[in-house]
Amino acid sequence: MNIDFTKSALLEVDVQNDFCPGGALAVADGDSVITPLNEIAGRFKTACAPVVATQDWHPAGHSSFISSGRTPAEGEVLWPDHCVQGSAGAEFHKDLDMKPVTLIIRKGFRPSLDSYSAFFENDRKTTTGLGAFLKGLNIETVYLGGLATDYCVFFSAMDAIKLGFTVYILRDAVRGVNYPEGSVEKAIHTMKNAGVIMI
Ligand code: VGL
Ligand code: ZN
């Protein structure tokens, strides 16, 4: 892989304990994204290129939790309590190398609004600031890995395309929830059609 580090950023999505085996919203094999992410992050670090880690960061009782008692909207999925601010489950996995990380974006911290994407919250309007941050660094290309393929990675990749970035998904550095069944395949298909490149 030939990366132009002068205009590329690495985005590591939600590599947190709750999305790894043993966590509250465990993604099958979720921790296997860590080794490939550390390897590529090391290369970004050597080049002093930006590495952004996102952290799902919900207040207790968040509206995306089943425990909120809320009736989900059509097509909306509610989740077990996960990534509660300050909890062990919200911490980055201990094996994720944080030394290369130059920015941590926390998301999903508004009680009534979730944020799957690293760029825009689920109202599709509220920004996290990440797009402006990357544009401010003259970044044109985003390499993406992490959890979960069919939710936070998917929405981040689609928004990155919408913002005009060239987007590469690191195929061995993503894992999915696959709920509902088939959602990983559907996400990959939709991303490819939108111009996301799988490598
Ligand atoms: C995620 C569901 C709920 C993710 C976050 O990181 O993909 N999925 N919160
Ligand atoms: Zn969440």
> Which residues are within 5 Å of ligand 2 (an ion), measured at CB?
56, 108
The pLDDT-based confidence of 65 (bands split at 50, 70, 90) is very high
- Which H or E run contains 144? strand 141-147
pLDDT tens by residue, 78-115: 999 999 999 999 999 999 999 999 999 999 999 999 99
Phi-psi region of 14 (alpha: psi -120 to 50; beta: other; left: phi over 0): left
Q: Where are the domains of the chain?
A: 5-198
Helix (H, G, I), strand (E, B) or coil at 11: strand
Which of 3.30.460.20, 3.40.50.300, 1.10.10.10, 3.40.50.850 would CATH assign to domain 5-198?
Answer: 3.40.50.850
pTM comes to 0.98
**Known catalytic residue at 107:** yes
- To the nearest 10 degrees (0 to 180), the angle between helices 183-194 and 152-162 is 10
Please count the residues of the chain.
199
Q: Is the CB of 14 under 6 A from ligand 1?
A: yes
The pLDDT-based confidence of 77 (bands split at 50, 70, 90) is very high
Q: Is the CB of 79 under 6 A from ligand 1?
A: yes
- Which residue in 83, 107, 114, 150 is the catalytic one? 107
**Percent of the residues in the chain that have a pLDDT greater than 90, as a whole number:** 99
Q: Enumerate the β-bridge partners of residue 53.
A: 12, 104
Residue with CA at minimum distance from ligand 1 atom 2? 151
Q: Is the CB of 121 under 6 A from ligand 1?
A: no
